[in-house]
Structure 1
Amino acid sequence: MKILITGATGLIGQELVNLLIKNNYTIHYLTTSPQKIINKTNYYGFYWNPQEGKIDENCIEGVETIVHLAGASIANRWTKSYKTELIESRVLSANLLFNLLKKTPNQVKHFVSASGTAIYPDSYIKTYDETSTEIENSFLGNLVIKWEKSADQFQILNIKVAKLRTGVVFSEKGGALLEMIKPIKMYLGSGFGSGKQIQSWIHLTDVAHLYYFVIQNQTVGIINAVSPDTISNQDLTTQIAKHLKRPLFLPNIPKFIMKLILGEMHVLLFNSKNIKSVRIKEFGFKYKFSTVQSALKNSIK
């Protein structure tokens, strides 16, 4: 089976590509850098440029599933121009794929899109699952709405659509966890604000296997890609320090300081999102790392 992947060189993309190749899938991937086009057994690169509306039409030859992971990182300062890039890197790229499929004979049956848990409102008391309809009235909330709308349009072409709203990804290879580890290693670790804000997370291995599960079963609809074991910011900081054998003696960092440093992006550290994945449980999906302790033990080397 051939699968087309955007964002194949990202954190989740690399893990998923390795898993799929190991299971005898053939990967087509899109890249904006001609020098990154590699053609080897079961792994073939194709050029695209969503900003200019350019794409190598050969990328969809024989493809049955598209996995759309492309999107600029939210971990950069949100200037006005970068906000535009965050939206366009997700939406324009999906639109380019949609227009290609619309005008070109193809075998695509399934479109699997990354999405974000930022769509759920900030709350210390509410728990959200896939049936929740409340939406965060913020830049990130609106970003996710546009992101998912760009995925939903593929249904017009009678293509099944799945959207994986992914929490904080734990991995030793990159992402938010490594950024949390750095100051703690240097004896500068501390929580943020009250530390009570809930963080919903998932281990990199599990999110890759969840995508694989969705691909195999041609699953449709919204899926919360999160672990069943949520944790507060303060407890997570404490757990990381415990694994690193480092003390925590600094006071928690006030919200206004991080707002001065990070600007609007500071909400990533202070928003509370208690998210459950009812659908994963219904599917019978088996986590390899279902607890914070097991995930940190694997991720902190």
Structure 2
Amino acid sequence: MKVLVTGATGFIGTALCSHLLQNNHSVHYLVTDAADIKDKDNYKGFLWNPEKNEIDLNSLDQVDAIVNLAGHTINCKWTDENKKQIHDSRINCSNTLFNALQNNEHQIKSIVNASAIGIYQSSETAIYNENSTGFGNDFLAQVCKDWEVANLRFEGLGIKTAITRFGLILSKDKGVLHELAKVVSKGLGANLGNGKQWMSWIHFNDVIEIIYQLLKEQQSGIFNVVAPNAVKQNEFLKLLAAQLNKPLWLPNIPSVFIKIGLGERSALVLSSQHVQSVQLPKIGYKFMFTDLASTLKDLYK
């Protein structure tokens, strides 16, 4: 199988490309800077400019599937300019791929597109699955909704389309766990807000394996990429502190102070989504990590 990957130099994309190569597949990847092209056996880079709807069509040569992970990081100040970049970068990447496939011959049969559980409305009581329609109206939810609309258009080209709504991806090197651990490891951990927000998490290794299975089986539909057992923030921090052998003694940081400090971006730490996946078990995916304690133990072994 030959796979075209966007966002190949990012958090998930780097590991996914390595996994594909280790399993004897070929990878084409798209970058916006020629300096990021570092080719090796079965791994070849191509340039594109989604802002201008430009793409090297050689990147599609003999490609069987696409994994579309590209988009500007949300871990930045949410200025008007950055919010526009977060939104438009995702839509532009999907549109550029769509236009290329619509207007040129290709042999692509399936595509896996990223999204996020931030599409669901923040709630401490609701439980969401792939059939839920309780979508939010905040900035992140709107980005996800627009992104998914753009990506579902691939179905109209006869391409099997999978939408992966990622939960909190746990890795000790990047992402939310990495940032929390830096604070907790100094003995400065504290619940943010009331601590009752749900955190729907997933081990990084499960993420890679899920994408790989969706690719191999040419699956289509919506998939919540979350482990079976979500936890509340206070439990998450308690288990993390125990794993790092650090005390968790500071009082909660009130939501009002977090909102003053982070503004609209406070949603990243204060929002609550209790999310389950009914579709991954249906396709026979077997989670490697189902509870947070064993997940943290594995990550910090």
The answer, yes or no, to whether TM exceeds 0.5 is: yes
Q: For residues 45 and 291 of structure 1, what CA distance do their matches in structure 2 show?
A: 38
Equivalent residues, number: 301
Q: What are the Cα deviations for residues 204-252 of structure 1, in whole angstroms up to 9, with x where unaligned?
A: 1000000001001111010000000101100111111001110111111
Deviation at 1:300, TM superposition (A): 2.6
Q: Which residue of 2 aligns with 1:147?
A: 147
User: What are the equivalent positions in structure 2 for 1:41-190 lying under 5 Å apart?
Assistant: 41-190=41-190
Identical columns (%): 40
Q: For residues 106 and 157 of structure 2, what CA distance do their matches in structure 1 show?
A: 11
Q: For residues 219 and 293 of structure 2, what CA distance do their matches in structure 1 show?
A: 30
Q: Aligned-residue CA RMSD in angstroms? A: 0.9
CA contact (8 A) 1:259 1:266 kept: yes
- Report SS of the residue matched to 1:207: helix
Whichever residue aligns with residue 107 of structure 1, its letter is: Q
Deviation at 1:14, TM superposition (A): 1.3
1:236 is aligned to 2:236: yes
Q: For residues 102 and 234 of structure 1, what CA distance do their matches in structure 2 show?
A: 48
Deviation at 1:30, TM superposition (A): 0.3
Q: Which residue of 1 aligns with 2:256?
A: 256
Q: For residues 300 and 138 of structure 1, what CA distance do their matches in structure 2 show?
A: 34
CA contact (8 A) 2:53 2:95 kept: no
Q: What are the Cα deviations for residues 78-119 of structure 1, in whole angstroms up to 9, with x where unaligned?
A: 111111101111100110111111111100111110001011
1:4 is aligned to 2:4: yes
Q: For residues 288 and 15 of structure 2, what CA distance do their matches in structure 1 show?
A: 14
CA contact (8 A) 1:11 1:173 kept: no
Q: Which residue of 2 aligns with 1:225?
A: 225
Q: Which residue of 1 aligns with 2:29?
A: 29
Deviation at 1:288, TM superposition (A): 1.3
CA contact (8 A) 1:4 1:66 kept: yes
Deviation at 1:297, TM superposition (A): 1.0
Q: Which residue of 2 aligns with 1:210?
A: 210
So what's the TM-score if we normalise by structure 2? 0.98
Deviation at 1:52, TM superposition (A): 2.2
Q: Which residue of 2 aligns with 1:284?
A: 284
Whichever residue aligns with residue 239 of structure 1, its letter is: L
Q: For residues 274 and 138 of structure 1, what CA distance do their matches in structure 2 show?
A: 17
CA contact (8 A) 1:163 1:223 kept: yes
Deviation at 1:28, TM superposition (A): 0.3
Deviation at 1:283, TM superposition (A): 1.7
Q: What are the Cα deviations for residues 34-57 of structure 1, in whole angstroms up to 9, with x where unaligned?
A: 011122111100011111222111
CA contact (8 A) 1:4 1:59 kept: yes
Deviation at 1:273, TM superposition (A): 0.5
Whichever residue aligns with residue 46 of structure 2, its letter is: F
Q: What are the Cα deviations for residues 236-295 of structure 1, in whole angstroms up to 9, with x where unaligned?
A: 111110011101111111111111221101011111110000111112211111110111
- Report SS of the residue matched to 2:64: strand
- Report SS of the residue matched to 1:143: helix
CA contact (8 A) 2:194 2:255 kept: no
Q: For residues 173 and 192 of structure 1, what CA distance do their matches in structure 2 show?
A: 22
Residues 223-232 or 36-45, more deviating: 36-45
Q: For residues 167 and 243 of structure 2, what CA distance do their matches in structure 1 show?
A: 22
CA contact (8 A) 1:49 1:55 kept: yes
Q: For residues 263 and 73 of structure 2, what CA distance do their matches in structure 1 show?
A: 16
CA contact (8 A) 1:111 1:162 kept: yes
Whichever residue aligns with residue 9 of structure 1, its letter is: T
State the 4+ residue runs in structure 1 displaced beyond 4 angstroms: none
1:273 is aligned to 2:241: no
Structure 2 unaligned blocks of 5 or more: none
Whichever residue aligns with residue 138 of structure 2, its letter is: S
CA contact (8 A) 2:7 2:30 kept: yes
1:246 is aligned to 2:246: yes
